[in-house]
Each structure stands twice: as structure tokens, then as C-alpha cells.
Amino acid sequence: MCGIVGYIGTKRQAYPILIKGLKRLEYRGYDSAGIALINGNDDLNVYKAKGKVADLESFCAEKNIEGSVGIAHTRWATHGEPSSTNAHPHYSESKNLAIIHNGIIENYAEIKKNLMDKGIKFVSDTDTEVLVQLIEYIQERKNLDLLTAVQVALHQVIGAYAIAILDKRHPDTVIAARKQSPLVVGIGDDEFFLGSDASPIIEYTDQVVYLEDGNIAVMKLGEELKVVNILNEELSPEIKTVDINLGQIEKGGYPHFMLKEIFEQPECLKNCMRGRINVEQDHVTLSALIDYRSWLLNAKRVIIVACGTSWHAGLIGKQLIETFCKIPVDVEYASEFRYRNPVVTKEDVVIALSQSGETADTLAAVELAKEKGAFIYGICNAIGSSIPRATNTGTYIHVGPEIGVASTKAFTGQVSVLTMFAIALADAKGTIKHGEYVKVVQELASIPEKITEVLKTNEQVADLARTFTYAHNFLYLGRGFSFPVALEGALKLKEISYIHAEGYPAAEMKHGPIALIDSDMPVVVIATHNAMYEKVRSNIQEIKARQGRVIALVSKGDEAIAKIADAVIELPDTMECLEPLVSTIPLQLLAYHIAVCKGKDVDQPRNLAKSVTVE
């Protein structure tokens, strides 16, 4: 999704900061990039290129890149095709102003028509250009300063935005504003930084302000950061210290962020459980469950809202909560939930699952459930993001920044938090026997070591990937807790290798997908030693009888399946409810290695964005 970087200062050149910042935001996915700089002689120059930030750099090679004030953007097309014309920044007609924008102006067509009727000419197809033209029109027509013109314009627009604007007549000021699209201001020593998240900023300062919806920030040289609202009421921004470091967002020697993030999982899950599982490993404490005990104890139903991988984690959460807490759980695609007028009551607890905390559909589902009086619990990764701020309470998964577009460590982090949530609530409700509670806590605490063991299969999985790279289709089968893992394995493969893949509950195979099976069809089956083992083994026989090629994930030492499958990957034993945390790892690796064999862009797959901040 689109990314924003900005800089204003006196001691440094803006261009290198902006370019580096754009590179840090590449993980969000984009199709073009651009930069606007106020040069020494108060010129406002805009440079844009379709493609990667590297293309923008080449384009700027011979240009004037002097100056210590600038804004920059990576665009992920919504209105208008990916092109250098539609890329941001956009000038106003006079070229006095330049704007960058994340989000969507929903009533842009109407505003554009009004402005065109007044003779204003447009060069792009974007909603963003409409906004900057509107600001200029208001500014000139009413002879207003830029801040007031921005406030009046934002009053007229409907939609979501994070914007930053330069005015070449006021080269000492950058104005930024947000509504439903994140924006962070970094505060340095007589300098300011701007980012759609903190990653372009943290190299320079750890002092940041996360703008709230409706905030307009005025970054003026020689003055403190000023934050006002649309009515020009002055607000007191809370300055926070960010604790992510650059090492956390760089590749650390791995060829891709995705591989680094897969291998980080043991450490990430330890961080996720630290301070929550006690040292004796017999108790889980989640502060949200203490602070909001009665709300949660009295919940008649839990509704989990999420998208993509987070939705798969939600399916596992359903089984955990129903098994241990005996509360019915619905798992909803946030995009469907928000539009189907769902029945939600004050006795419902809605859990919003999101790695980024910025997914537009999940955020909208939260707002809807809030309006209907439900209690909202967020399980997110990005600290200070929009969803945690919109919830009553929640638990961060604390797995560190996830850069690869294909989610890996966030999934296992979400499942770990859902496990802790389910058993802690079950303990409080008295729906779990103490012995079983302690057993789950102990076993959960041992999962990081078990993942380390599974990661040793990396080379074996890489070999398998070479064998199966030819495939055009894959089936993934699992039952019970393993069914969402099958869905997640299929999604990972689709996302980064562009191979069509489907996940199914194994027993559903006979109801249709079995027709697809022939000697070209690889079928990944999660067939560990649990209650469903014999039934899944029969499914494998059925696949082999039709010449399908079986890759089976089995419990260590399973000889029966090894005799019939084409390949087996052994997993350490664990409790059935925790199996997703180990069985998902080889599936992440399989997708990764197949994508590498096919020469695909693993970390930034085509058409995908890391953080889907538009619906």
C-alpha cells in the first residue's frame, strides 16, 4: 500500500533521507514512486517514475536534488493506472503546492467536476490531484494561508487520507494530516521527519508522535510541532519513544525478509510469551483479562473479524476458545461482516486480528461492532496502529516488524496469543481442569524449541521445492486444528509463487476436489498422530490410488505414512491444539523455496500490498 516520507530541517539534505525512507517502505507494495523538493531558490520540483524506487533514483540522477525540505511517496494504484503521471506528488495548477496522499477521496469525482467547471485543468486521473487543486482553489479564492485552506478543504472531502503538502512560497513549513490512514511525525533537533509508519524515521530519531484521526500537523522550522484539528483547535500531541531498531527491519544476512522472518519465529514467540507465561511455566497472565475480567467472563459469544492470514489464525482461535472456554465463536471475513448488517449485541466480544493494525476492512468491522455496543479486543502486531487504538483493550503479539508481504511470524504470534487468551479465560471461567491448563501452558512454552527443530528441515524442504516447482496446482488437506493450516499453506504458495492452490478439510476431498487428482497433482497432507490420524491416512491412500503425489507432514517416527507418501516431513510431537504452531513452518518454507526456484519476487509479490489500507 502507499507509503509516505517527509523531511524538513536545516542541517541535512532531504533527498537521501527521502529515498532511503521510500526504500524502507518498499515492503508495503507499490507501483510507482515520486519526490518533491523545495530547492535553494524556492523552486518546487517534482520527480516521479513508474516502477521501483531505484527507477526514481535513476530518473533523478541528472536533476536538481538540492534542498532540505521534501516529501516522497510510493503509490499503489487505486484511481488511475500505475504511471509516472498518476504517481505522487501532485502539483496544484500553479505548481505552488505539491501533495502526497495515502487513502481514497470518495467524493473526488464531484469535487473534480466543480473545479473543472471553474476552469481548473487536471493532468492525472487521481483523486489526490483533486485534493491539491481544491486546496489551492480555496487558498486563492479566499486569500487564506495554507493551513486554513487545508482545514477548509478537508472539511469538504469524504474518505480516508494521510497527506503531506509543501508550498514553495513557505519553504519553512510542511503540513500533514490524517484520517483513517496512519501517519507518524519524528521530532529531531530543529528538524522533523514524516512517515506512514516509523520505519523511515527511526534511523534519525526515536521521538515520535502518532497522529490521531482528524489531526493536522504543522512542522515549521524554528518552532515546536503544532497539532491542530480541522476547527483549528490546538491539541497536545503525545510524544512517544519508539523501541524498534534498524537491525529489526533489515535482512540480517538472509536473502529475503520472508526467510528471515520464518527463522525468527522461535525468538519471536519467546518475546510474545515473555512476561505472560511465568517462569515456572504453570500460569498465563494477560493484563487485558485482568483489567476487563467481567466483560470477558460474561461474553455470550465471541466474533473474530480479520482478513487473509489473520482470518486463518482466527479459525484456529475459534477452535481454541470453543474447546477451552465453551463459548460459541464466529469467525468472519471483516470485509463481509462490515457490510451485511450482522447481529451484534452488547454481550458479544469482538476480537479483531491484524498484523498491521491498519487493514481498512478490519478497522471498519471494529467501528461497526463498537457502534452496536460490543466489547472490542484487538490482537495486533504494529504498536500504536489504528486498530489497537480503536479497541477497548487487547494484546500485542510482539513479534517485531514483519516486512515480507507474505505473513509468517505474525500468524504464529497470533495463534500463540489466541492460545494464551483461550486458556487464561477458560481458567477464569473454570471451564478447563487445572491439570490440563498447566499442561497447555507448559507445552506452549516449549513451542519455540520445537519450531527450532522443525526449521532444521529447511534443506529437505528446499529439495522438495525443486522437485515440485513444475506444478500448476496444489491441494492442501488437514482436519480439525490442521484445516486452517492447510488454508494458510495454500495462501502462502499462491501469494508468492503464483501457483494455484486450495486448502480443504481432508474429508471434503471426496465431495469434489478428488476429481482434480492425477499424477501431476501434488497434495500436501497434514497427517500427524492425533485423533483424526487414521481417517487422514485413508485420504492419503485415496490420493495415491489416483496417482496423486503426496507430501505428508507426519509425527516423528511415523513409518506407515512414510511407506505410501512420496515425501514426508517429520514434526515433533505436541498437543493437538498447538500443532498449527509447528505444522505451519514447513508450509511457509515450501512456499518460500518454490517461489525462489521460480525466480519470483518473494518479499514483494505482484499485485499485493503489505498493509491493505483501502477496501
Q: Which residues bind ligand M6R (CB under 6 A)?
A: 307-310, 354-356, 359, 362, 405-407, 495, 608, 611-612
| The one catalytic residue among 52, 260, 492, 610 | 610
Cell of 457: 528441515
User: In the bound complex, what is the minimum distance in angstroms from residue 179's beta carbon to ligand M6R?
Assistant: 19
Nearer to ligand M6R (CB atom), residue 152 or residue 383? 383
Q: Residue 244 in contact with residue 401, Cβ under 8 Å? A: yes
Question: Which amino acid, residue 608?
Answer: L
Q: In what order do the strands lie in the sheet with 44-50?
A: 44-50, 32-38, 69-75, 3-8, 192-195, 184-187, 207-210, 240-241
User: In the bound complex, what is the minimum distance in angstroms from residue 159's beta carbon to ligand M6R?
Assistant: 20
User: In the bound complex, what is the minimum distance in angstroms from residue 214's beta carbon to ligand M6R?
Assistant: 23
Residue 129 φ then ψ, to 5°: -60, -35
Nearer to ligand M6R (CB atom), residue 96 or residue 102? 102
Mapping DSSP to helix (H, G, I), strand (E, B) and coil, where does residue 150 land? helix
Nearer to ligand M6R (CB atom), residue 180 or residue 359? 359
Nearer to ligand M6R (CB atom), residue 310 or residue 319? 310
Q: Could you give the CA distance from residue 124 to residue 497 in angstroms, rounded to a whole number? A: 33
Q: Residue 498 in contact with residue 607, Cβ under 8 Å? A: no
Strands 301-306 and 159-167: unpaired
Angle (CA) 115-121-124 rounded to 5° is 105
User: In the bound complex, what is the minimum distance in angstroms from residue 603's beta carbon to ligand M6R?
Assistant: 11
Cell of 487: 488454508
User: In the bound complex, what is the minimum distance in angstroms from residue 464's beta carbon to ligand M6R?
Assistant: 21
User: In the bound complex, what is the minimum distance in angstroms from residue 112's beta carbon to ligand M6R?
Assistant: 30
Q: Could you give the CA distance from residue 376 to residue 478 in angstroms, rounded to a whole number? A: 31
Residue 277 φ then ψ, to 5°: -95, 130
Asked if 307 is an active-site residue, the reply is no
Nearer to ligand M6R (CB atom), residue 406 or residue 567? 406
Alpha helices in 122-182 (DSSP H): 127-141, 146-156
Q: Which residue is nearest to ligand M6R (CB)?
A: 308
User: In the bound complex, what is the minimum distance in angstroms from residue 182's beta carbon to ligand M6R?
Assistant: 12
Nearer to ligand M6R (CB atom), residue 133 or residue 407? 407
- Closest residue by Cα to residue 417 from 307, 269, 301: 269
Tell me the DSSP string of 467-500.
Answer: HHTT-SEEEEEE-TTHHHHHHHHHHHHHHHH--E
Nearer to ligand M6R (CB atom), residue 8 or residue 351? 351
User: In the bound complex, what is the minimum distance in angstroms from residue 277's beta carbon to ligand M6R?
Assistant: 24
- Closest residue by Cα to residue 526 from 516, 517, 535: 535
Asked if 95 is an active-site residue, the reply is no
- Closest residue by Cα to residue 505 from 530, 528, 534, 485: 485
Secondary structure element (H or E) that encloses residue 502, with its range: strand 500-505
| The one catalytic residue among 2, 307, 380, 577 | 2
Nearer to ligand M6R (CB atom), residue 72 or residue 602? 602
Q: Which long-range contacts (CB under 8 A, 24 or more apart) does 266-269 make?
A: 266/448, 266/449, 266/451, 266/452, 266/455, 267/448, 268/398, 268/399, 268/400, 268/409, 268/412, 268/413, 269/399, 269/412, 269/413, 269/416, 269/447, 269/448, 269/451, 269/581
Tell me the catalytic residues.
Answer: 2, 610
